[in-house]
Every structure is written in structure tokens, then in C-alpha cells.
Chains A and B, each alone.
Chain A
Amino acid sequence: EIVMTQSPATLSVSPGERATLSCRASQSVSSNLAWYQQKPGQAPRLLIYGASTRATGIPARFSGSGSGTEFTLTISSLQSDDFAVYYCQQYNDWPPSFGQGTKLEIK
């Protein structure tokens, strides 16, 4: 099974600033990487698939990059609605696997 490792576990950023979240795969997943946002008490929401393609309705301030084993989710100018937990997920190999999450909190 491919192990996904996210860093940092918690990221403190001020509104309006940029946030950079990292995700590393234990072996190459090509560009078969998705990012999700989850707010307390809510289901995850798909943000990015194919490592860099925004899902329908996702604002342009969210961007994804990377391939192989190293991936990044960047939120260019944080809004209050963006503070949540973010998960990466690989879908290159079975079984699909998630990172442990990065909690983005207000500084």
C-alpha cells in the first residue's frame, strides 16, 4: 500500500496570506493525486484532482502542483472560509490511500 505523508500536521497562517501544504507519497503516483477540504462536522469536498486540476466550483486561489512523489496545495490568499483540514489522496495504485491531514488554522 502506498503511504501518503502530509506536512505540517498543523499550519498557522493569517487571513490574506499564502498557505503551502505538502504531501509526499512513499512511491510514485504519477499525477494521480487529489486534494480535499474538510470542515468540522462536514463531509470532505474535492478541491483538486490530477494533481493540478481544480474541481468544479473551486476558486482560483486554490492550486495544486507536483508529480511523482512530491505534491503541494497552495492557497494564494487565505479567506476565513479556508480554515479547515486538508487531505491528499493517491489513486494511482490500489488500495486508494489518504494522507493523515493538515489542519490549517488562523494565526
Chain B
Amino acid sequence: EVQLVESGGGLVKPGGSLRLSCAASGFPFSTYSMNWVRQAPGKGLEWVSSISSRSSYIFYADSVQGRFTISRDNAKNSLYLQMNSLRAEDTAVYYCAGSQLVPVDWFDPWGQGTLVTVSS
């Protein structure tokens, strides 16, 4: 069974940091590009960041450039998102999702998401 399981979300104060993880199983993780997509409460979907299968290419949305860092460990079938200098507008459910290509492609599969709340 294909599975992506995110973890690491929680409540953090503005200016704080958080590291999200995504554990993959059931598909050849090391051959997939991976992505983070977020969804603010009651809002639509927003692409955040992408990383190619061997970490050669990395892309960020302008809204997180310089604050977020995407990485992966293919030996551990894991994807990460280090989030620094968090702002209230970063509050969202963060989904990890696979794709075949970077910097643009459709997204499949998806994890169930982890909620990040930035509030004092």
C-alpha cells in the first residue's frame, strides 16, 4: 500500500521554528520528486516547495523562500521541511506529495497532512 505519513506539526510562536517529516512506503521513493503543499484553514491549496529525486534541484514558493528548507533522505525514505522565522500566515495543514518531475508536475500520492499553527 502506498503511504505518506507526515509528522512534526504543532503550535509554535511567531518567529519560531518547526521541522516537518514525511515517511514514505509502498512505492519507489528514491525515484520520485517530492513536494510540500499547504492549505490554510478553510482555504485552497498552495504549493510550497519541491525537491528532485536525488536532491539536485530544489524550488520554493516566493512566500517561503529564505525561511524554509526542503531536504530528503532516500536511505530512510523520508522527506523533510525545516521551517524558520514562522509567521501567522504560515498556519496551515502541510501535505507531502509525490510527483514525477520538478519543477512542475501533477501531485500523486499525498499524505494525510500535519497541522502547523503559528500563534502567540
What residues of chain A have their CB less than 8 Å away from a CB belonging to chain B? Answer: 32, 34, 36, 42-46, 49, 55, 87, 89, 91-101
Contact = CB atoms under 8 A, between A and B. Distances in A.
A42 B113 CA distance: 8
B106 A46 contact: yes
Contact of A45 (B45, B103, B105, B110): B110
B104 interface: yes
Interface residues of B, number: 19
Interface of B: 44-47, 59, 61-62, 95, 103-113
A97 B112 contact: no
A94 B104 contact: yes
Contacts of A97: 47
Contact of B44 (A34, A49, A92, A98): A98
Contact of A89 (B106, B112, B113): B106
B45 A92 contact: no
Contact of A98 (B45, B104, B108): B45
B103 A49 contact: no
B16 to A, nearest CB: 26
Contacts of B46: 98
A96 B108 contact: no
B112 A94 contact: no
Most buried by A among B44, B59, B61, B112: B44
